[in-house]
Structure formats: C-alpha cells, structure tokens
Amino acid sequence: MFAEPSSSHARYRGVLSWLFDRIDYERVRPNGLSPFRLERMESLLELIGKPHLQIPAIHIAGTKGKGSTAAVLESILRTSGLRTGLFTSPHIARFEERMRINGQLPAELRIVELAEQLQSILNQPTSDPAEQPPTFFEITTLLAWMLFAAEQVDVVVLETGLGGRLDCTNVCRPLVTVITSIGLDHTHILGATHDLIAFEKAGILKPGIPLIHGPVPAAAEQVIAARAVELQCPRYSIGSELQCTVIRQGRPGSADPPGLEFSLQTPAAAWHNLHLPLLGHHQARNASLAVMAAELLQQSGYSAITSSSIASGVARTVWPLRFEQFIGEPVLVLDAAHNPDSVQAVTQILSNSAWPPEARTLIFAASSDKDAEGMLSEILPAVQHVILTRFCTNPRSVAPQQLQQIVNSLRADERSECRIEVAETPAAALQLATSMTPPHGVILATGSAFLAAEMRTMLASPDELSPFATQH
C-alpha cells in the first residue's frame, strides 16, 4: 500500500506518486502505435469486474474539439436528469478532473480508496512475469471505470486519449460514436496523411452503432464513410445530414453578450437560437454534434432527454481553456489550442475582436511533437508582440530559443514591426506581457494545453500575485 503517514491527504499524495511514476505517453510520446494493446486493457478491466460492459457510453474521438463536444453532451445529459460520468484528458490542476460525476470532481479520499483497491488487485501474481506494468493512462482509465461503477452512473461520456483504434477507451460498448474532426496531429504516431489518421479515429466505430462526425477532409471522409458502410453504422455529418449556422457571436473585448447563438437542422428537428457560452464557429459545430448525439439517445429510449433539456444543457456548458477570458487591464485569454487547425480557429476569434492589433500580445509555448511553425504562421499576423516561453510541468516543451528561431524565419521581412521576447517560465512571460501590453489590449496564451493549464493554475494560486483575478 501507499507510504505513511496515514492521513488522507498524505495517502492521496502517495497515490499521485504511484500514478505519475508510471510510463506516461502524455509526457514522453512513443514512436508509433506498437505500445498500445486493447487485449491488455480488456484483461485489466476483467480484473475489476468489466464495468465497461455494464455502463452505456458515448465515445468521442477527433483531432480537435472532442473535449468541448464531450462537455456539451455531458451538460445536456446531466440537465436531463441523468447521472453522468465524464472522462477527459489531460487535467488542468488536479488529477481527478479527468473523471467527473454529475459535473463534480471526486473527493481525494475517494480516489485513494479506489487506487488502493486497484493496487491490491494489480499486486496479485500474473501469469506472464514478462508483462510490463500498466501505463499511467491505463491505470487512469481503470480508476475512472471503477468510479463510474461505484457511483452507479446512468451513462458515461468518454473522450479518447490518443487516436481511437488502439486507445484504452476503445473497449467500451457505445450507444453513439462521434468523430469531431480530422487534422494532421500526432503524425509520428497516427500517420502523416488525413486518410491514415481517419483510419485510426474510425477505429472507434462499432457494428450498427450510429456515427456522427464533423466536417473532415475528403480523403478522411472516404475512409470514415467506407468503415461506416462496412459496419452498417448510420452516419450523420455536418454539412450533409446536419446543417449548422451561427446566428450571432459575441465580439471579445466589446460590450457584446458573451458566447454565441446558432441554429441546427437535423433529420428530426429544427433548432433555433441555441445559446452556447463558448466562442468560435468551430464550437457551434462541436455543440451540434452533441445535440445530434442527444437526439439519438432520446430516440433510443432515453425519454428524460427533451428539447428543453437539450437547449438548457447547451446553454449551461462550462469548459475551461477555450478562449477563456480573465478580467484585467489588459484582459488575459487562455486557450488550449495545440495544432495549426485549432490555432487558426483561435486566430479567427482574435481577429474579429475589439482589441486593436497593436494592443495584442501573444504568449506561446509548444510541445516538441507539435507543429510549432504551423501554429506560429497562423497566429503571428494577428498580434503585435510575441513572448516565447516553455511550460514547466511536462518535459516535451520546446526551448523558447528554438521557437525564437522559427519566429525570426517566419517574420524575416517584417521583424522590426514585431517585438519578440523570450521568457523562461510562464510566470515570467505573464509579467513581461502585462508590462508591454496597453490596458485596453489583450494577452493571449496558447500553443499548448500544458501552457494554458499551467497559467490557469498559476492564476488560481493565492501565492501568485496576479491582476487577473476574476474570470469572465
């Protein structure tokens, strides 16, 4: 068991040490898919009673947008009176953010009890002494299923961790599957083309289970459509069976009401003026996928889901680090965008804001396995000042000096018009950004979920002196 002293918080710290000492592919990316084995996950789940076969799930994959889609759908289901489980990654400040019950984090003691129970099970002799110990994500997935079973949830919303076909979550028995988007991310693991990545994402499809997906490149759609036909999965896609239109979007930096309103036409219903407290046309598409999933659940017998609860659930969605604004002079925006497609969406929101270009400062960091050049080429034209930094909680961070070389090459012809600085920590970057940005301007921190999470945690800490104390 975990080390003394035996106080509950000390036991909790012991649990975290046990977890984070394991192989963690969020921190050190593998070379290809060879480490991932669904048979191993099935065997581990059998040890804890196969809860994944007993609890209905909605399974969500995608290059971007899967977390937002999961958050909207969970909000709809919870608003409908269903007892929900939500599994997402990574976390921002606390490990247990990855597994929520009815929107709430489990208590530290609950995590300790489940982890001690799981450790006792895993300590039993194995028939294969050469078998590697479970990874961080495998253990996390097991703990989530144990929690969902113990809390007797009605339905679980599951976000894949990486890819789909060989992801730990792909042993669930879904009622609906969702693919939010297909883009070039994790290419050294999933493949370097849209069709190869689509093959991995489409690996979550199950025979006869409905599939909903967002707009994807033509090559990816061919793969997804072929797989759906092969498995006889009813398929609903935005731009075809689903028509989504943004009616109004709040203009950041102005007095406009926050969020956006959109309409949605599905095969069964016409939705008008749905309110979503998130920004960006991409978020309207993500929410549309969630609404369609809720419709399909309603049609399959979940009578608690109504038109009213769907609309209210969309409106009540809370999902941090998606163009999340904090009050200050200047305003601070944190966004977890970490690939060129998602940074492009952030840039579109920023370009349509009330903050003038000369009053926009970018804080940027990136992981070594991400397309930093592609992200920077999208965002640089929309900002005046650039501060390059590194996050401290994950070893995959690119050195800011390396990022500076990329910026210099991208802005070679206009370098004098853009002030470029380097800061060794996010805290130093924020302090520098605050000093160089006009009070009527904005500081945008993006490029990595780890950077955005680190900065959000820093803002929430009473030990940090920050002018950004209140969230919009």
Contacts of 357 (CB under 8 A, 6+ apart): 382, 383, 384
Q: Exposed, middle or buried by CB within 10 Å (0-12, 13-18, 19+), for 466? A: middle
- Whether the pLDDT of residue 109 is over 80: the answer is yes
- Whether the pLDDT of residue 152 is over 90: the answer is yes
pLDDT of residue 416: 46
- Which range is least confidently modeled, 27-36, 207-216, 254-263, 290-299? 27-36
- Whether the pLDDT of residue 407 is over 50: the answer is yes
Q: What is the Cα–Cα distance from 432 to 380, expressed in whole angstroms? A: 18
Domains 8-315 and 324-460 share a fold: no
Antiparallel, parallel or unpaired: β 442-446 and 360-364? parallel
Fold of domain 324-460:
Protein-Tyrosine Phosphatase; Chain A (3.90.190)
- Which range is least confidently modeled, 29-33, 299-303, 323-327, 376-380? 29-33
pLDDT of residue 27: 56
- What mean pLDDT do residues 138-155 have? 97
- 106: number of Cβ within 10 Å: 21
* Residue 469 binned pLDDT confidence (cut-offs 50, 70, 90): very low
Beta strands in 21-68 (DSSP E): 57-61
- Which range is least confidently modeled, 22-31, 148-157, 169-178? 22-31
User: Of 351 and 188, which is predicted with more confidence?
Assistant: 351
385, 361 contact by CB (below 8 A): yes
- % of the chain at pLDDT higher than 90: 76
Residue whose tokens read 């976000």:
159
Q: What is the Cα–Cα distance from 411 to 96, expressed in whole angstroms? A: 42
- Candidates 308, 304, 287, 301; CA nearest to 80 is 304
Q: What is the Cα–Cα distance from 288 to 271, expressed in whole angstroms? A: 10
- Whether the pLDDT of residue 1 is over 70: the answer is no
What are the tens digits of pLDDT across the range 67-93?
A: 999 999 999 999 999 999 999 998 988
* Residue 8 binned pLDDT confidence (cut-offs 50, 70, 90): confident
- Candidates 136, 120, 162; CA nearest to 18 is 136
pLDDT of residue 297: 98
pLDDT of residue 30: 52
Rounded to 5 degrees, what angle do the CA atoms 250, 252, 258 make? Answer: 40
- Candidates 161, 207, 177; CA nearest to 73 is 177
* Burial track 202-216 (b if 16+ CB lie within 10 A, e otherwise): bbbbbeebbbbbbbb
pLDDT of residue 199: 94
Dihedral angle of Cα 162, 163, 164, 168, to the nearest 10 degrees: -30
- Whether the pLDDT of residue 36 is over 90: the answer is no
Contacts of 58 (CB under 8 A, 6+ apart): 73, 155, 156, 157, 158, 174, 175, 176, 177, 178, 293, 297
Q: What is the Cα–Cα distance from 187 to 185, expressed in whole angstroms? A: 5
Mean pLDDT, rounded, of the chain: 90
pLDDT of residue 417: 64
- What mean pLDDT do residues 348-377 have? 95
- Candidates 163, 246, 159; CA nearest to 203 is 163
Q: What is the Cα–Cα distance from 443 to 335, expressed in whole angstroms? A: 11
- Whether the pLDDT of residue 383 is over 80: the answer is yes
What are the tens digits of pLDDT across the range 233-289?
A: 999 999 999 999 999 999 999 989 889 999 999 999 999 999 999 999 999 999 999
State CA 400 to chain mean position distance. 24
pLDDT of residue 464: 42
389, 363 contact by CB (below 8 A): yes
Beta strands in 37-154 (DSSP E): 57-61, 84-87, 99-101
pLDDT of residue 4: 46
- Whether the pLDDT of residue 115 is over 90: the answer is yes
- What mean pLDDT do residues 117-122 have? 92
State CA 103 to chain mean position distance. 15
Antiparallel, parallel or unpaired: β 243-249 and 260-265? antiparallel
- Whether the pLDDT of residue 460 is over 80: the answer is no
pLDDT of residue 51: 96
* 261 SS3 class: strand
pLDDT of residue 471: 44
- Whether the pLDDT of residue 37 is over 80: the answer is no
What is the Cα gyration radius of the chain? Answer: 22
- Whether the pLDDT of residue 423 is over 80: the answer is yes
pLDDT of residue 359: 96
pLDDT of residue 163: 85
Which of the listed CATH numbers 3.40.1190.10, 3.40.630.10, 3.40.50.2000, 3.40.50.2300 matches domain 8-315?
A: 3.40.1190.10
Distances (CA, A) of 348 to 259, 280, 378: 15, 8, 10
Antiparallel, parallel or unpaired: β 174-179 and 419-422? unpaired
pLDDT of residue 35: 61
What are the tens digits of pLDDT across the range 167-184?
A: 999 999 999 999 999 987
Q: Within the chain, how many helices (H) and strands (E) appear?
A: 15, 16
User: Of 283 and 369, which is predicted with more confidence?
Assistant: 283
pLDDT of residue 3: 46
- Which range is least confidently modeled, 30-34, 131-135, 140-144? 30-34
Residue whose tokens read 């959000």:
456
The domain spans of the chain are 8-315, 324-460
DSSP state of 237: E
Dihedral angle of Cα 430, 380, 333, 445, to the nearest 10 degrees: -40
375, 366 contact by CB (below 8 A): yes
Residue type, 286: N
